[in-house]
Amino acid sequence: MTLTDKSAFETGDANEHGYKTFTIGGFTFSRDEFFAHVSWPTGRHVLSVDTFLRALQRDVAWDFFYGTVNFDSVIGTVNHYGTVDLFAGRYNEAYRRAELDHVENFDTPMLREAFKSMLDDWTNASYDPFASPAETGKPFGVKDGFNTEAVTRRRIAAARMVGVPGDEQIRSDEMGFPINRMFADVGQEEPVVEAEPGFESEVAAFNLFAYLSRSNVTWNPSVVSVCKDSLYCPTTEEYILPVFHGNDRVEWFVQLSDEIIWDVQDRDTGAVRSKVVMRAGDVAAMPADIRHQGYSPKRSMLLVWENNSADLPELIATGRAPQYPIDF
């Protein structure tokens, strides 16, 4: 089996709904018109294919992200940065007590390729898992074409900052990024930069609000500026973050516009910890021992501020760095 072989994880022909079934390790994934079905040696699970595809899209695009990506309260992945756990019921108190949980560890490229193949096969032509539900077709029904362009979108990641020569560029109509319907009132003026001769490639500035007003995806933080391990990852949000993200480090949220409601739970058990309502201008730090899911009733702008240091998960897990960012 080679990783470039797209069919490596497919088991035979399409089912009666037109979709391939995928096997990786002891896990089997199949879909019908409405649901994704997941089975493993000690159990099985069903979830809406809508939830499943939105979560799968993010896990693929984010290359398993920081820490845990819970598709729902049962299924998900844990990133060990080189390998990935695929789990069922591992972070669910009831599954754990009943000893029905299951975890398998894969080399990252292996699970990445399996997930990419499944995402491509299960996403029909008119559905975009990154789009707001108000701006895309439905994920349901029998197999009806592909949307490979959408599910393989390039992830924006600035090396220094958006707008710096040779780096990610600001968005425009010409580039295919019109202003989103919900951000029609966002000013589009760009700052004037007057660099001293010789410093033209060192001094840059851009209008972040204008940039975000032209985002065509939701719940997809992208790196717009980098200072050593400090990454500014703003994103535009509408409807529901399709995953419960389980942190392996602290992350900061700055609500740049409108409102997001966060459900915060214990990372390992799912026990409810808090509800956080963030309005424009609010700043919050999410501790390293929680999972969270956000709800954005109207399209909003959120700055996610990440510390990308590879040392953090180990420092926090061994108690040498705290679970929270600051003592008052």
User: Please, which residue, 213 or 235, has the CB nearer to ligand PHB?
Assistant: 235
Answer positive or negative: Cα dihedral of 116, 5, 74, 33. positive
What is the per-residue burial (b if ≥16 Cβ within 10 Å, else e) of 62-75?
Answer: bebbbbbbbbbbbb
**Minimum distance, C-beta of residue 284 to Fe ion, in the bound complex (Å):** 11
Taking the C-alpha atoms of residue 288 and residue 259, their distance in angstroms, rounded to an integer, is: 23
* Single-letter amino acid code for the residue at 161: M
**Minimum distance, C-beta of residue 244 to ligand PHB, in the bound complex (Å):** 8
Considering only residues 206-235, where is the footprint of Fe ion by CB under 5 A? none
Contact code string over 245-274 relative to Fe ion, x by CB under 5 A? x-----------------------------
Q: Could you tell which of ligand PHB, Fe ion, none binds residue 242, using a CB distance below 5 to 8 A set by kind?
A: none
Taking CA atoms, 230 is separated from 128, 160, 174, 306, 310, in Å, by 30, 11, 31, 6, 12
**Minimum distance, C-beta of residue 155 to Fe ion, in the bound complex (Å):** 16
**Minimum distance, C-beta of residue 261 to ligand PHB, in the bound complex (Å):** 13
Taking CA atoms, 124 is separated from 28, 55, 210, 221, in Å, by 20, 16, 31, 24
Contact region with ligand PHB (CB under 6 A), list: 2-10, 99-107, 110-118, 234-242: 234-242
Contact region with ligand PHB (CB under 6 A), list: 43-51, 113-121, 223-231, 237-245: 237-245
**Minimum distance, C-beta of residue 251 to Fe ion, in the bound complex (Å):** 5
**H helical segments located in the chain:** 49-61, 93-97, 108-122, 148-151, 208-213, 312-317
Of the candidates 59, 121, 128, 251, which one interacts with ligand PHB according to CB under 6 A? 251
58 binds Fe ion, rule: CB under 5 A: no
DSSP 132: -
DSSP 7: G
Contact region with Fe ion (CB under 5 A), list: 19-27, 122-130, 217-225, 238-246: 238-246
119 binds ligand PHB, rule: CB under 6 A: no
Q: List, in order, residues 6 or more apart from 192 with CB less than 8 Å away.
A: none
Instruction: Enter the tokens of residue 314.
Output: 């180990």
Q: Give the residues lining the site for Fe ion (CB under 5 A).
A: 245
Site residues (CB under 6 A) for ligand PHB? 219-221, 235, 237, 241, 245, 251, 302, 304
